[in-house]
Structure 1
Amino acid sequence: MVERKKQMSRDRVSRLINWGHWFAFFNGLLAMIVGSRYLSSVGYPETWYGWIYLTVSTIGQFSFLAFIAYLICLFPLTLILPYSKILRGIAAVIATLSLCILLYDTIVYADYGMHLSPFAFDLAWADLNALLHGTSYIVTPLAIIAIELTAANFLWKRIEKIQKLNLGNKVITLVGICFVSSHLIHIWADAADMTEITRFDEAYPLSYPATARSFMESHGIDGSPMGNNANDTTSVLSYPLQPLFCQADTQTNVLMITIDSLRADMVDSKTMPFFHQYMENNQSFTQHYSGGNQFKTGMFSLLYGLQGSYGDARIFNSTSPVLTKSFQQAGYQLGLFIPETNRKLGSAQAMFNDFTPIVAKETNGSADADLHTVAHFKQWHSVQNKPWFALLNLKAPENFDTPVGFLGIETVKANVNLHPAQKVLFNQYRQSLYFIDNQLEAILANIPQDTLVVITGVNGKIFTSNNDEALRNLSPESVKVPLVIHWPNAIAAKVKYRTSHYGIVPTLMTHVLGCTNNTTDYSAGRSLLQPSKETWIYIGDSRIFAIYQQTEVTVIDRHGKYRIYDANYEHRLGKKMSAPELIQVMRESRRLYNH
């Protein structure tokens, strides 16, 4: 009798486990239906192999999530409470909660471009009324739990019939093949830089597809970066939002000089005497910020006027900035004078497409390349007989470089808080800036006064030779840069309100090209000639970025982890983020996407 009871108990548990597996599979199918909402944000595949990958990835990922939820939540309860009525009710509630969380995640992802995390949850909770419309947030859970209870009872009553069909192994095999195949396909796509596939990397929650690098490292092979496989959501991005209407009364020549790694706090009368005096004699913006801490994001924000979060979008591999396109359509000659490595560094492949490039070799270093860049520009400028727009990029400060035989300035005492190695870099950096100052003087010597001149830093600089440390650092030293504009026939002025690279494109489009569009049609910024209404500045890319607010700086990584510092980036603050402003930031990062 005892043995019979034990056997009956084992049979009951076995039946419940079989039922649980099929219930999990059913919820995997429901999760796929709910998960299809992610595709409205990232766009649908455009090729047959993209559809194949998306299909196997969707089946594998959501089936895996459903099984994990069963294993963690239901399987232990099956052993503790082997009573079908209780278990079916609990399972329906758990499944409903899981699907509601998934549905909420699709809403958050569509609005902010990120999945639920402590940061995203805090942000979404503060913006709950805007995210949840009408009474759907009440009706939907009721509909889901009704479906779950019906499915749980249906499967329980027919579990024996389902088992007799011997479909279990076939389903497991199918899901397993899809799961493994999606990772193998992604390894190939990562190695081949197939953005049609890799652009779905972060579309689904808790998705960590294998990469070529991770695969090789797991097999003892030294993996190296295989290209930029960042999330790509271009098929639903509109740039510009509306056709542009531009009609300039006159055609003013424009010279834009961009200097890599030019810190605002290092420009003084001793280190850069010519540039310092030039700032005093023209319009100087004393609180100006780049859009990033490296060349890619800084130059992207400078020429496109958009946040670095858009930089990975495929549309910018074929769509040049509206700024350069508009100059070209207005009949300007466009010249680009740039070191060879920077010519290849643009995060957007079409960033320089409208220019006629004249590239300087860097065989003997970046300072020597800058000398050639200046010489190339002088030669080009001397033969121009039409209106022109020139972009001249200098790089020496990025590498603390000066030419062989260069006679610089005397060293000075560095800040006592710097480490010994940083003190050496500090003075070497000053030598590099002094060299750049000489080049600025040589460039501007023969530029007519009726030329509009813009001089700024692409990004800032911290005193380190560690590239990883420089990439992660978003302090004012890395992002605060000088900006000087020489307007023909204008008097000197100092602008003390905060400005950023995002405002340069709207300023030139409005005041030089005579464009009448609202600046939000093509940029994240407003004209530099009036204070911006926004009390924040987005600095960085989609992987790690900082939100510079009036009294604090919030640094956020792609996983939603955030840290808050004071306005000087000196002390980490143990406080919650300021949700209203960050909601505006996330709105701006999704504004150009169609939903």
Structure 2
Amino acid sequence: MSERKEQMSRDKVSRLINWGHWFAFFNGLLAMIVGARYLSSLGYPETVLGWGYLVVNTLSQFSFLAFIVYLVFLFPVTLLLPYSKILRGLAAIVASLSLCILLYDTVIYDDYGIHLSPFAFDLAWADLNALLHGTSYIVTPIGIVIIELTAANFIWKRIEKIQKKQFGHKVVLFIGLCFVSSHLTHIWADAADITDITRFDDAYPLSYPATARSFMESHGIEGTKDLDPLLSDKVTSGSAKLTYPIAALQCSIASQSNILLISIDSLRADMIDDKTMPFLTRYQKQNQEFSQHYSGGNQFRTGMFSLLYGLQSSYSDRQEFHNKRPVMTDELLKSGYQLGLFMPEVIRQNALINSMFDGFELNASSRLDGGAAADLATVANLTSWLQSKALPSAQTAPWFALVNLTAPKEYDTPIGFLGIETVKPPFELKAAEKVLFNQYRQSLNFIDKQLQQILTQVDNDTIVLITGTHGQIFNTNSDAVKRDLSPASVKVPLIIHQPNSPAAKVKYRTSHYGIVPTLMTQVLGCENPMADYSAGRGLLEPSKESWIYIGDSQIFAIYQKNEITVLDRHGKYRIYNSQFTKRLDKKMSAPELIQVMREGRRLYNQ
């Protein structure tokens, strides 16, 4: 008799466990529906491959989340209190709370670009009125509870029929295959730099896709760059509507000045001195020197985006900008400028790079022999181009030349280059870093000579801007360099030569965000408010904002007067002093961070 009771008890528990699994699977499907809101922030994939990855990743991720909730909150109760009515009611409550939390996370993600965390919750609580609209936040949870109770009872009444059809093993196998294939696909996409897949890395909560980049780099394997045309261009399907510029631009060209913009990869502001870069040091003193200038990022993509668009580099991750060239480019073309781009070869399959430089006549140099050789070829291409513009038969249209030099990023110099003597670093470095420091100085000295050659070919009436795409830290670990947002990585020089303007040293803080609006107003005669097409910060007066956003949407820093806050997509943050030498044990001001997040979505909220 006791054995019969034990058998009945085991059967009851087994039935409850089977019911729990199917209830979890149902909630995984509901979570996928709710999670579709994440894609409204990021935009949808552009390729068949991207769609395939998104489908399998979504199925595996939300099924995994639903199963974890079941395993933690419901499975122990099934063993301790195997009563169906209690379990069904508890399961409906737990599932409803979980879906409400997921729904709230989609709201936080859409507004701030980060997932729910203690930090994000504090931020959202301070901005609650702006996040919650109407009565949906009351009606929706009630609707979810009704759905969960109905589903719990429906599945319980039919659990025996479902078991007889033996779907369970097939579903588990299918979800398992989705899980494995999504991670394997991401490993390949990460190694091959396929952004239509990797841009979804942080789209879903608690998502940690497997990567292969660091492993492959440590074994000397390079990622695939020449990708299939299927991955290359350009269909945008996000539901968020971009308004850029916010209003039609009213521009009337103020001058016919030629413009030369030179951007040097990895050019630190604190490395310009008489020994390392004597020519640039003299040139800096003779013109406008912006001594507290910052790039918009610590990489080529983010730094160049902030330079050409005048917008936070968080926008560079949005799919709509992969189809939208800078408004400054449009206005230069409308004003009759000839646009020349002089740089090493770029990845043409990268849609953002294509858009940034759309409208320019590309004069590319080969990277095969290193950055220094590419820079020599770049300068030679620019020289030929400038000489062609000076011919009597040449058109009289003004020109805008964008030159990108790259040798310092690779610590490179040409073969046989006679550089400068090594010196002791002015800051503390490890032994290997000291070698990189002095090799970096040699590379800067080489660049200094290239700048001298370039600038002796342009007349005094040409507007010249010299800056760094980003800074440099002395580390060969690419992941460490990518995540470093210290002043060494982002503080760069800015030197402007303007005809008939006296030498001056600007000591207030400026950034790449100010270059576009300054050129648009001073050269192209645009009368719109700067905020219509940029972050709204010019170079000619101190910015009203007390902060600068540096980085992308994955990891970014907020530079304030006396502190630097570094945040990632998951809401983890650290606060440092202004020299980035000491961590501060304090919380960030939520109202100020809300301003930062709002600016990063302003062009979608018009």
TM-score, structure 1 normalization: 0.87
Residues 25-36 of structure 1: pairs in structure 2 closer than 5 A: 25-36=25-36
Distance in 1 of aligned mates of 2:464 and 2:28: 60
Distance in 2 of aligned mates of 1:498 and 1:492: 18
Residues 95-110 of structure 1: pairs in structure 2 closer than 5 A: 95-110=95-110
Contact 1:199 1:233 in 2 (8 A): no
Q: Deviations over 1:336-392 (max 9, x none)?
A: 222336999995233223221222335554334333333332332122132000112
2:271 is aligned with 1:274:
no
In structure 2, the residue matched to 1:20 is 20
Q: Deviations over 1:370-420 (max 9, x none)?
A: 333333323321221320001122223223333444444444433262233
Distance in 2 of aligned mates of 1:122 and 1:250: 50
* Offset of residue 200 of structure 1: 4.4
Contact 1:59 1:175 in 2 (8 A): no
* One-letter identity of the residue aligned with 1:128: L
**Greater displacement, 332-341 / 396-405:** 396-405
**Greater displacement, 387-396 / 238-247:** 238-247
In structure 1, the residue matched to 2:490 is 479
* One-letter identity of the residue aligned with 1:480: K
Contact 1:60 1:176 in 2 (8 A): no
Contact 2:291 2:506 in 1 (8 A): yes
Contact 2:296 2:490 in 1 (8 A): yes
In structure 1, the residue matched to 2:393 is none
Contact 1:42 1:233 in 2 (8 A): no
Q: Which residues of structure 2 form unaligned runs of 5+?
A: 390-395
**Greater displacement, 104-113 / 431-440:** 431-440
Change (3 A) 1:414 1:250: closer
* One-letter identity of the residue aligned with 2:206: L
Residues 155-166 of structure 1: pairs in structure 2 closer than 5 A: 155-156=155-156, 158-159=157-158, 162-164=159-161, 166=163
2:291 is aligned with 1:286:
yes
* Offset of residue 188 of structure 1: 5.3
**Could you say what secondary structure the match of 1:334 adopts?**
strand
In structure 2, the residue matched to 1:565 is 576
In structure 2, the residue matched to 1:358 is 363
In structure 1, the residue matched to 2:512 is 501
In structure 1, the residue matched to 2:256 is 251
Distance in 1 of aligned mates of 2:201 and 2:431: 43
Q: Deviations over 1:565-592 (max 9, x none)?
A: 1110001222223322222222233333
In structure 1, the residue matched to 2:111 is 111
**Could you say what secondary structure the match of 2:515 adopts?**
helix
* Offset of residue 237 of structure 1: 5.6
2:554 is aligned with 1:550:
no
Change (3 A) 1:246 1:76: same
* One-letter identity of the residue aligned with 1:265: D
Q: Deviations over 1:115-162 (max 9, x none)?
A: 223443343233233222344334433333344334434544x24xx4
Distance in 2 of aligned mates of 1:284 and 1:542: 30
Change (3 A) 1:364 1:139: closer
Distance in 2 of aligned mates of 1:198 and 1:345: 13
Residues 4-83 of structure 1: pairs in structure 2 closer than 5 A: 4-44=4-44, 57-83=57-83
**Could you say what secondary structure the match of 1:310 adopts?**
helix
Change (3 A) 1:201 1:399: closer
* One-letter identity of the residue aligned with 1:471: K
**Greater displacement, 272-281 / 49-58:** 49-58
* One-letter identity of the residue aligned with 1:238: L
Residues 170-181 of structure 1: pairs in structure 2 closer than 5 A: 170=167, 173-174=170-171, 176-177=173-174, 180-181=177-178
**Greater displacement, 189-198 / 326-335:** 189-198
Change (3 A) 1:351 1:76: same
* One-letter identity of the residue aligned with 1:37: R
Contact 1:535 1:550 in 2 (8 A): yes
* Offset of residue 564 of structure 1: 1.7
In structure 2, the residue matched to 1:262 is 267
Distance in 2 of aligned mates of 1:200 and 1:298: 22
Change (3 A) 1:171 1:585: farther
* One-letter identity of the residue aligned with 1:253: N
Contact 2:412 2:443 in 1 (8 A): yes
Contact 1:312 1:348 in 2 (8 A): no
In structure 1, the residue matched to 2:327 is 322
* One-letter identity of the residue aligned with 1:36: A
Distance in 2 of aligned mates of 1:28 and 1:181: 14
Distance in 1 of aligned mates of 2:369 and 2:44: 47
Distance in 1 of aligned mates of 2:148 and 2:573: 37
Distance in 1 of aligned mates of 2:264 and 2:430: 26
Contact 1:56 1:179 in 2 (8 A): no
Change (3 A) 1:492 1:187: same
Query: Given the alignment, which residue of 226, 241, 244 partners 1:240?
Result: 244
Q: Which residues of structure 1 form unaligned runs of 5+?
A: none
Contact 2:113 2:569 in 1 (8 A): no
**Could you say what secondary structure the match of 2:362 adopts?**
strand
* Offset of residue 276 of structure 1: 2.1
* One-letter identity of the residue aligned with 1:547: I
In structure 1, the residue matched to 2:166 is 169
* Offset of residue 499 of structure 1: 0.8
How many percent of aligned residue pairs carry the same amino acid? 63
2:85 is aligned with 1:85:
yes
* One-letter identity of the residue aligned with 2:402: L
In structure 2, the residue matched to 1:578 is 589
Query: Given the alignment, which residue of 411, 414, 417 partners 1:400?
Result: 411
Aligned residues: 586
* Offset of residue 520 of structure 1: 2.9
2:181 is aligned with 1:184:
yes
**Greater displacement, 504-513 / 552-561:** 552-561
Distance in 1 of aligned mates of 2:593 and 2:3: 64
* One-letter identity of the residue aligned with 1:460: G
Distance in 1 of aligned mates of 2:85 and 2:587: 44
Distance in 2 of aligned mates of 1:193 and 1:398: 20
Contact 2:115 2:569 in 1 (8 A): no
Change (3 A) 1:47 1:346: closer
Distance in 2 of aligned mates of 1:367 and 1:379: 19
* Offset of residue 193 of structure 1: 7.2
Cα RMSD for the two superposed structures:
3.4
In structure 2, the residue matched to 1:592 is 603
Contact 1:370 1:395 in 2 (8 A): yes
**Greater displacement, 574-583 / 194-203:** 194-203
Query: Given the alignment, which residue of 514, 522, 526 partners 2:525?
Result: 514
In structure 2, the residue matched to 1:451 is 462
Contact 2:243 2:604 in 1 (8 A): no
Contact 2:63 2:175 in 1 (8 A): no
**Could you say what secondary structure the match of 2:353 adopts?**
coil
**Could you say what secondary structure the match of 1:592 adopts?**
helix
Contact 2:56 2:181 in 1 (8 A): no
